[in-house]
Amino acid sequence: MAELLAWAGTRVLHWRIALLWLLVLAATFAAGPLDAAGWTLAITAALIVQFRLWDDLEDLPHDRVHAPQRVLVQCTRLWPFRLVFAASVGAVAVAFALLQGWPRVVAYLVLLAAMATLYRTTGDIGARRTLRTQLVLLKYAAFVLLLADDPVAPRALAAALALHATLAVHEWNDQRTAPPP
């Protein structure tokens, strides 16, 4: 439990994650009117934390070399993290089923399958790492569409695209100016 709390303290409870949450929320509200704003606040936070954990689990080989100070890299037991991730998938799926219906659950499961495929087919070497990073950012646009009342409306698509473009440019600039590992 201490390792989970340490991970959350360093990887989730951070001003950059709060800013990301606000950006995803802004894009979601820009996508169109929402039936349940409170639900949107909570599920957006849950999705960000869930996918942050999954990203960190998938990035372990890279982080062992380039970020050995990270909590997850130093953990001897990863099963609690995997259990939390699996439980979060179930909880989010149930929330979507109860609040937005089964078509949204299916869309969420498609997102999970797409991300799993992305993680398994993109490597960690050179330009493929940059491509992987940019593709992984698409999940945030998908969050907007999952949360939008009408995900195929032009307004929702524009909001999702604007969010992705913003995050992609930020990530590209961040990578460009970062010191070499």
In contact, 10 and 70? CB cutoff 8 Å: yes
Backbone angles phi, psi at 65, to 5 degrees: -90, -45
pLDDT at 178: 55
pLDDT at 177: 62
Alpha helices (H) along 31-153: 37-58, 60-66, 71-74, 79-100, 102-121, 127-136, 138-147
pTM value is 0.89
Contacts of 137 (CB under 8 A, 6+ apart): 164, 167, 168, 171
Contacts of 103 (CB under 8 A, 6+ apart): none
Question: How many domains in the chain?
Answer: 1
**Domain region containing 102:** 2-177
Compare 42 and 133 and report the one with higher pLDDT.
Answer: 42
CA distances from 18 to 48, 81, 116 (A): 10, 21, 25
In contact, 23 and 163? CB cutoff 8 Å: yes
Q: What is the pLDDT of residues 31-61, one digit of tens each?
A: 987 766 788 899 999 999 999 999 999 989 8
CA 166 – CA 139 distance, rounded (Å): 13
Residue range 134-157: mean pLDDT, rounded: 94
